[in-house]
Amino acid sequence: MTPEEITRTSTTYNLQSWSKQKGLNPIPVKGGEGIYFWDHSGKKYADMSSQLVNLNLGHGNRAIIDAIKDQAEKYCYISPSYGSEPRAELAKMLVELMPDNIGKVFFTNAGADANENAIKMARMYTGRYKVFSRYRSYHGSTFGAGNLTGEPRRYPLEPGIPGFVKFFDPYIYREPIEFASEEAASAYYVAKLREQVCYEGSDKVAAIVMETITGSNGIIIPPKGYLEGVRKICDDYGIMMICDEVMAGFGRTGKMFGFQNWNIKPDLVSFAKGVTCGYVQLGGVAVSKKIAAFFDDNVLSCGLTYSGHPLACAAGIACVKYYTEHKVLDNVNKVGKTLGEILEAMKKKHECVGDVRYIGLFAAVELVKNRKTKEPLVPYGKDPDGVMKGLVGKLAQKGFMTYSHENMILVAPPLIITEEQLREEMKKLDEVLGEVKA
């Protein structure tokens, strides 16, 4: 197809996610290498969001491609009831990367069904039905994961599933209370959560589900002591702590898993995206040894035709090897430090920047009309004049590809980005922010 045919056929026959379909004009992509991809005219773009924060090792990674090819030559598919080397090996590698309380892995197709299965397992294990999750969150678009989700992408699924309860995130920037310290903020949010759990009937709550670090809803990083406080609530009432590591996992924050930045061990960990960097889709749930043992004598009522797909698991093994053998986390920590410095400088320079939040190579720039009142550049859940869309469009024209959410611009490049590449791209963001009228 010619590039024009690709775009025309795509808009004629494909329904595109999260969009009004009229007027869409997808860029026909021809190829990619490292942090860049290019269209048919040869225009090169820097992938500053790692696509959907999944392409952690960038485009065209030879080791991953070869691993998929090698596995395809052996067998492309085998039902989950058979023994499969790539599925067994990847599960073992993942358990070894996790804390010592984690025992087994159940593979899924992606992040949403990882969360679906995590809550199913927590409910079966505890015999309870209520599930807590946060307002500023995204956990996937299927019915269960969409009901866990707190942000407006939940609305089309309402009325919601009975027993799904929402609580507030530790979103200090937008909290009317001025806290003396991060610890004081944590004490407040944890106390409120404990109160809410008690009001809901603590013996009815199966799980508290959290993105360890809220991703697409604005890189909300838990203050010191917060996750430890939630862990304590879970321990006190026999509730399962589920960390959604779909976005924060696999090196994004400078640790293999986001929760490893704090002193906690979740009972269940859902993951996807960076496990295969999107080369083949894969997700999964890692569960504690206690939960794994429970299913020795109780039926694990979960199943998917493609659970542990051999090609996906082969890609996963190659990715995990690449993260460790190429010391990718060291790069995240080094380049991430520079990213933080650049973002702080932008906050000083541009009136429209209300806040910058970052950890590793996981960052958001929160834009405001007024720094004092913190009035967001666009109202919550809306962008009637296409302001954010316009900013992302200007960045794209300069070859800086990312996406926005609410009044925030996401910066999450592939974890292999060099310092030089980062500086070059961030200049483009600086220029575009300079044009925003606060």
Ligand X SMILES: Cc1ncc(COP(=O)(O)O)c(C=O)c1O
Nearer to ligand X, 138 or 250 (CB): 138
Options 134-142, 255-263, 315-323, 342-350: segment touching ligand X (CB under 6 A): 134-142
247 vs 292, beta carbon nearer ligand X: 247
The one among 32, 86, 140, 146 contacting ligand X by CB under 6 A: 140
Per CB under 6 A, the list member of 47, 211, 406, 425 interacting with ligand X is: 211
Please spell the DSSP secondary structure of 387-418, one letter per residue: HHHHHHHHHHHTTEE--EETTEEEE---TT--
80 cis-preceded (ω within 30 degrees of 0)? no
Q: Which of 111, 223, 229, 354 binds ligand X (CB under 6 A)?
A: 111
Output the smallest distance, CB 227 to ligand X, in A. Answer: 15
Contact between 247 and ligand X by CB under 6 A: the answer reads yes
CB of 289 to ligand X, least distance (A): 24
Cα–Cα distances (Å) from 199 to 192, 202, 208, 230, 254, in that order, read: 11, 8, 15, 16, 37
Whether 187 and 103 have beta carbons less than 8 Å apart is answered as no
Q: Is 244 near ligand X (CB under 6 A)?
A: yes
Structural Rg of the chain based on CA atoms? 21
CB of 109 to ligand X, least distance (A): 8
Give min distance, CB of 1 to ligand X, in A.
27
CA-wise closest residue to 319 among 414, 219, 213, 422: 414
**What is the nearest approach in angstroms of ligand X to the Cβ of residue 285?**
12
Nearer to ligand X, 116 or 425 (CB): 116
- Of the candidate spans 32-40, 71-79, 242-250, 307-315, the one that interacts with ligand X by CB under 6 A turns out to be 242-250
Among residues 84 and 115, whose Cβ is nearest to ligand X? 115
Does residue 379 sit in helix, strand or coil? Answer: coil
Q: Does residue 119 interact with ligand X by CB under 6 A?
A: no
Binding mask 253-272 for ligand X (x = CB under 6 A): -------------------x
| Binding-site member from 216, 253, 261, 331 for ligand X (CB under 6 A) | 216
Using the rule CB under 6 A, which residue among 120, 130, 136, 139 binds ligand X? 139
**Side-chain-side CA neighbours of residue 154 (13 Å):** 23
> Dihedrals φ, ψ of 152, to 5°?
-55, -20
Q: Measured between alpha carbons, how far is 283 from 268 in angstroms, rounded to an integer?
A: 13
User: Which span sits near ligand X by CB under 6 A: 136-144, 183-191, 303-311, 421-429?
Assistant: 136-144
Other beta carbons within 10 Å of 264: 20
DSSP letter string, 288-311: EHHHHHHHHHS------TTTT-HH
Print the binding letters for residues 276-315 with ligand X: x by CB under 6 A, - otherwise. -------x--------------------------------
Question: Which one of 99-107, 122-130, 199-207, 210-218 is the stretch in contact with ligand X (CB under 6 A)?
Answer: 210-218
DSSP letter string, 332-368: HHHHHHHHHHHHHHHHHH-TTEEEEEEETTEEEEEEE
Question: Min. distance of Cβ 220 from ligand X in angstroms?
Answer: 12
Query: Minimum Å distance from CB 9 to ligand X?
Result: 24
- 90 Cβ contact list (under 8 Å, min separation 6): 105, 107, 308, 313, 316, 317, 320
Cα–Cα distance measured from residue 116 to residue 334, given in angstroms and rounded to the nearest whole number: 35
* DSSP characters over 131-197: EEEESS----SSHHHHHH--SGGGGGG-S--TTEEEE----GGG-SSPPSSHHHHHHHHHHHHHHHH
In total, the chain counts a number of residues equal to 438
Residues 22-81 that bind ligand X (CB under 6 A): 52
403, 214 in Cβ contact below 8 A?
no
Q: Of all residues in this chain, which one has the CB nearest to ligand X in the complex?
A: 111
Q: Which is nearer to ligand X, 138 or 237 (CB)?
A: 138
By CB under 6 A, name the binding residues for ligand X.
Answer: 52, 110-112, 115, 138-140, 211, 215-216, 244, 246-247, 272, 283
